[in-house]
Structure 1
Amino acid sequence: MIFHPGVLTLVAGSFLGVAVILFSASLGFKIRLRWDINSSSMEQLSLERKTYLVSSAMNIMLGMEIFLALLFIYTIEDIHHMFVGAMCATGTLNANPVGWNIIYTKVPLIFLSSIWIALNYLDYRSEYFPLVKTKCTLLMILLPIASIDANLQVKYFSGLTPDVITSCCGALFSQSGENLASTFSALPFTPAKIAFLTSAGFFLLSSLLVWMFNNRIFKYLTSLTAVG
């Protein structure tokens, strides 16, 4: 493993995150099963207190997960000079292919963390806490993603060795390559430009039609042009 401050922070932070999410999810599971806002029992009072604990811990932890995702990008960019052939973060990721899998866990982790923080904010704006069970369910979804993310980071950083010769953006986007990026790079410039501008025009037009008429057909059309 490369003993870089960013690497050590990412590994330690990811496992701390898993521990906090595991603790919160275990409480959340109990809260979800027994939550009854109409009850005035001691158990319900205890559950309400635990929701405050979970919310406080998760607000901090999920905020940190978002920060760690940004730190991951910064770190792999910062250590690229350690690998022969790497000129940016892409080269660092190619030094150990496991790194690309981390991107696939970081994206949903950021997305779901942001949703949870937003739901928690909305939940506490009501005295009836209508989103408690939803938040608890989301915690149980976040737990395996955070666990996989932490495991992948350990595998990735422990598998990095400075003597690896890696490829970078130039190899990925060269016309002689065999991957999808190379295929798109090899397309003629003028037809590709026309295709891009045409699809962008259709997207803007369909978005305008949705805004003006709020029609379901236009919504489907906008979705298709966005994918295209």
Structure 2
Amino acid sequence: MKSVTRKLLGVATTLAALASAASLQAVVVNYTFNFSANGTLSNSKSFVSSPSGVGVTVTADSLNGNSWVGAQVGQYSGGLGVTNSQESGSGDSHTLDGSGNRDYLVFQFAPAVDVNSLTIGYEGYQDSNFYYWLNNTGTKPTDLNTGSFVNSTGTGSYNIAVGSTTEWTYLVIAAGPDYITGSGRNQDTNSSGLKISSLGVSRNVPNNTPGVPDGGRTVLFLGSAIAALGLVARRRKVA
């Protein structure tokens, strides 16, 4: 019986070691930011993800030729828009648009995340095409050729950084027009106008992080295994 007990304890120790190692493995957790709500214009807006664990602060700016003229972030039922200092905010001028000036939205995440998707909740002007950059500096590039182009087909969800596993601090988005050269870009001069209703992001976190859905699986597995070993021991004793 002592031999059996030692063997059982050895198995339990091995299982504990495996569970401990598994708990340190990184798991991917998905987070969502929902921006669809009526609000006011402000210089910045802050949001907390669902489930909580990631925050984002959103600011806006607008480029007139080579000059930044400033802008504010607006929150609407269709999502986040921009009203720059040279717009009235009426009609589609409160969207993230490229009519006249080129509007930008800058999303600063804490901690850094992998951005997966963006949802357009409203399309204005002629289309809703946009460009985006991921970086760790918050730089707003003025050369659209350096950005990734999304030729949108209207409202809906669009993938961003497909296949990427890199985590970034900033997502920078600029509206069209999309008259520049480059693969996958429409050669038109339509003005884009859009509102961003949500973002989907993810990040790698330790498996034992509180609140992480996978965090309790190794503990549950270990407890079940030890209970099973105890049942085997009792049966051997009865026999």
TM-score, normalised via structure 1 length: 0.24
More helix by share: 1
**Which structure is higher in strand share?**
2
